[in-house]
């Protein structure tokens, strides 16, 4: 994603262990979580347009972790 591995798709295809690299996974998930716009403590509710965005970002982070676990199971 953003500065944590360059062309991850090509590297992953060539070396599945690279996809399971904890630092790479942590960096990719951190990049995704940085995209979440959490309201300040005094805001009680999220704007309706923020909820779908946050859901997509969390789903992407989940997918990264699931792929990493699947890769580890194959190694």
User: Does residue 42 lie within any of the structural domains?
Assistant: no
- Structural domain harbouring 58: 8-37+47-74
User: 27 pLDDT exceeds 50?
Assistant: yes
User: Does some domain include residue 14?
Assistant: yes
Q: Answer whether 20's CB lies under 8 Å from 68's CB.
A: yes
pLDDT at res. 36: 86
The domain total for the chain is 1
- Over 70: is that where the pLDDT of 17 sits? no
The answer to whether residue 64 is domain-embedded is: yes
Q: For residue 27, is it within any domain?
A: yes
Q: Is residue 1 part of a domain?
A: no
Whether 36 and 71 have beta carbons less than 8 Å apart is answered as no
Instruction: Please give the Cα distance from 19 to 70 (Å, whole number).
Output: 10
The average confidence (pLDDT) of the chain is: 76
Is residue 15, in this structure, part of any structural domain at all? yes
Q: Which helix (H) or strand (E) holds 67?
A: helix 50-74
User: How many helices, marked H, and strands, marked E, lie in the chain?
Assistant: 4, 0
pLDDT per residue as tens digits for the range 29-53: 999 999 987 666 555 566 777 888 8
């Amino acid at each position: 994603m953003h500065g944590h591995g360059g062309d991850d798709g090509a590297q992953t295809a060539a070396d599945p262990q690279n996809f399971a690299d904890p630092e790479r996974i942590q960096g990719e998930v951190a990049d995704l979580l940085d995209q979440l716009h959490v309201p300040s403590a005094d805001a009680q509710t999220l704007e309706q347009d923020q909820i779908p965005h946050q859901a997509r970002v969390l789903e992407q982070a989940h997918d990264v972790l699931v792929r990493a676990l699947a890769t580890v199971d194959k190694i």
